[in-house]
Structure 1
Amino acid sequence: MKFRAHILGAAAGGGLPQWNCGCKNCNLARAGKIPSQTQSSVAFSANGADWTLLNASPDIRVQLERSSALHPTGLRESPLKSVLLTNGDIDHIAGLLTLREQQPFVLFATSEIHKFLDDNPVFAALNPDVVRRQTVELGTPVEIAPGLTAELFAVPGKVPLYLEGETVQTDLEGEQTVGVHLQAAGQNVYYIPGCSTFRADLRARLQGAELVFFDGTLWQDDEMVRAGLSQKTGLRMGHMSMSGPEGSIAAFDGLDVRRKVYVHMNNTNPILRPDSDQRREAEVAGWTIAQDGMEIVL
């Protein structure tokens, strides 16, 4: 058995290019000068035949079509066994509505993330007689596909944008934003597409991992402000930046992780340009920059 990770979508919400964005990266992607990327989702398998999705992006139909391993194996038979959600963000749950076609699978999430779905009646389109919703407790391993287990743990983050109030806490630790520890055939893999702060307990948890997928939303905290696209910093959106003394490159320095992969890149992030100085800096630090269609086999 081999652990397989297939990156369906490498970009953050909006994708690359984002439909209404005229930033440098989006225009380069439209011109075919840098690769376009769909929104964040990764498929995992322990045997190459049965798969689980971590997050269901709005682009899921196209992503599944591009991935032959996830094509139907019969008239109405699919290798997709489950979907696991790491938060309730729109770019991680909207794709569930595409998966409403009376196809059996298990939907795994914390009780709080399930509540986000339960409170919105549109998600009743996922027929509960067909799609079983299973609540996962933090710290309790659960089999999400044959031979593949997942254990959820809290990482600092915030509630989804559509639930924000006047005051927003961006370093909440609870069930609203989770990381995933995946295990198969003795391999330890972590998937953390959203994280606002890298704390000591997270560093200790990741020590010795074979593979870590980590939040790569922005290169620098005020990136979108500098670009004239938003007044929100990365931290305000619940994401730590890559660069700087408080960034993830520095946080992972000296950490015993065999392979580090950035996922969930915002369309403004300069590392999406293969010839950028920032891309070279991240790669020199040992990082792989995810892109749609990339497969990693352990």
Structure 2
Amino acid sequence: MEFRARILGAAAGGGLPQWNCGCENCNLARAGKIPSQTQSSVAFTGNGKDWAVLNASPDIRQQFADCPDLHPTGLRTLPLHSVLVTNGDIDHVAGLLTLREMQPFSIFATKGIHDVLEENPVFSALNASVVRRETVSLDTPVEIAPGLMAELFAVPGKVPLYLEGDEVETDMMGEQTVGVHLRAEDKDAFYIPGCARMNDDLRERLAGAALVMFDGTLWADDEMVRAGLGQKTGKRMGHMSMSGPDGSIAAFDGLKVGNRIFVHMNNTNPVLRPDSEERAKAEAAGWTIGRDGMEITP
């Protein structure tokens, strides 16, 4: 067995640089002074040959081009076995439309997420006779690629922005926001790109994990407000911040987790600057800042 992971995209929605943003990070990335990052996605294999992609980023075409493990091995033969979707956010489902060229693979998701896709007729471009839609129940292991098992579990979160109503529950538990526990033989890893808070169930699941890729959207809860880029806090968007007493660094303190990697980082997050004080603090706390192309062996 060869259990491996590759970060296809380390940024949150919009990527780095974001097309309409003139913040410090975006300007540095445009100038080539810090690395650009595509939007949130990772790939896992349990045997070194067949791959499952977790979340279909709008940047998936470029991500596949940049990843030799996902290149075609024949005229219409790919190592891609499936795509698993952890929520209905645009940065996690829009890339499905790029995969519409009659290529066989399976889409794994909860019924709640599949319902979101089915209610939007544009996703019928994925021919149902070729692309199978597999409904996954929470807390039930399923094989998403040969030798690779995945178990979906609820984490605190919210519905996608385009489904919000007048009142928004930002840390609801259910099928709309899930984490993934991946296993191949005696090795395992967790992928949680969106999480509103650490609760007792999640803490218990993650204790002793060898690898956790976790929501790193913002460094500070009011980061975007202070930057003059919006009025929403991280909590309002359904994301924990990295710093602060309620942040993920504090939440993981004391948890025996081997390799902990931040993914899904917003373009404003100062940890995206390699020489920033915030990045140094995260790394001193035992965290790795994910980047496009990073390969991990759990």
TM-score band by shorter chain is: over 0.9
Aligned residues: 298
Q: Which residue of 2 aligns with 1:205?
A: 205
For structure 2, the residue ranges without an aligned partner over 5 or more in a row are none
Letter in 2 for 1:114: H
Letter in 1 for 2:83: V
Letter in 1 for 2:220: Q
State how far apart, in whole Å, the 1-side matches of 2:228 and 2:48 are: 44
State how far apart, in whole Å, the 2-side matches of 1:11 and 1:77 are: 29
Q: Which residue of 2 aligns with 1:6?
A: 6
Q: Which residue of 2 aligns with 1:51?
A: 51
Q: Which residue of 1 aligns with 2:287?
A: 287
**Alpha-carbon shift at residue 297 of structure 1 (Å):** 1.4
TM-score by length of 2: 0.99
Identity, % of aligned pairs?
74
Q: Which residue of 1 aligns with 2:22?
A: 22
Q: Which residue of 2 aligns with 1:86?
A: 86
State how far apart, in whole Å, the 2-side matches of 1:3 and 1:289 are: 21
State how far apart, in whole Å, the 2-side matches of 1:205 and 1:183 are: 14
State how far apart, in whole Å, the 2-side matches of 1:180 and 1:65 are: 25
State how far apart, in whole Å, the 2-side matches of 1:95 and 1:84 are: 12
Contact 1:2 1:185 in 2 (8 A): no
Contact 1:180 1:191 in 2 (8 A): yes
State how far apart, in whole Å, the 2-side matches of 1:252 and 1:93 are: 29
**Alpha-carbon shift at residue 187 of structure 1 (Å):** 1.1
State how far apart, in whole Å, the 1-side matches of 2:64 and 2:89 are: 20
**Alpha-carbon shift at residue 188 of structure 1 (Å):** 1.9
**Alpha-carbon shift at residue 2 of structure 1 (Å):** 2.1
Q: Secondary structure at the match of 1:237?
A: coil
Q: Deviations over 1:44-78 (max 9, x none)?
A: 00111100000000000000000000000111000
Q: Which residue of 1 aligns with 2:41?
A: 41
Q: Deviations over 1:145-176 (max 9, x none)?
A: 01100000000000000000011110100000
State how far apart, in whole Å, the 2-side matches of 1:82 and 1:92 are: 14
Letter in 2 for 1:152: L
Q: Which residue of 2 aligns with 1:102?
A: 102
Matches within 5 A, 1:154-169: 154-169=154-169
Matches within 5 A, 1:142-221: 142-221=142-221
Q: Secondary structure at the match of 2:236?
A: helix
Task: Find runs of 4+ consecutive structure 1 residues off by over 6 angstroms.
Answer: none
Q: Which residue of 2 aligns with 1:134?
A: 134
Q: Secondary structure at the match of 1:37?
A: coil
Q: Secondary structure at the match of 1:235?
A: coil
State how far apart, in whole Å, the 1-side matches of 2:200 and 2:156 are: 12
Letter in 1 for 2:84: L
Contact 1:142 1:149 in 2 (8 A): yes
Q: Secondary structure at the match of 1:174?
A: coil
State how far apart, in whole Å, the 1-side matches of 2:3 and 2:289 are: 19
State how far apart, in whole Å, the 2-side matches of 1:127 and 1:202 are: 36
**Alpha-carbon shift at residue 185 of structure 1 (Å):** 1.9
Letter in 1 for 2:229: L
Q: Deviations over 1:100-152 (max 9, x none)?
A: 01000010000000000000000000000000000000010000001100000
Q: Secondary structure at the match of 2:107?
A: strand
Letter in 2 for 1:15: G
For structure 1, the residue ranges without an aligned partner over 5 or more in a row are none
Q: Secondary structure at the match of 1:95?
A: helix
Letter in 1 for 2:156: P
Q: CA RMSD in A?
A: 0.5
TM-score by length of 1: 0.99
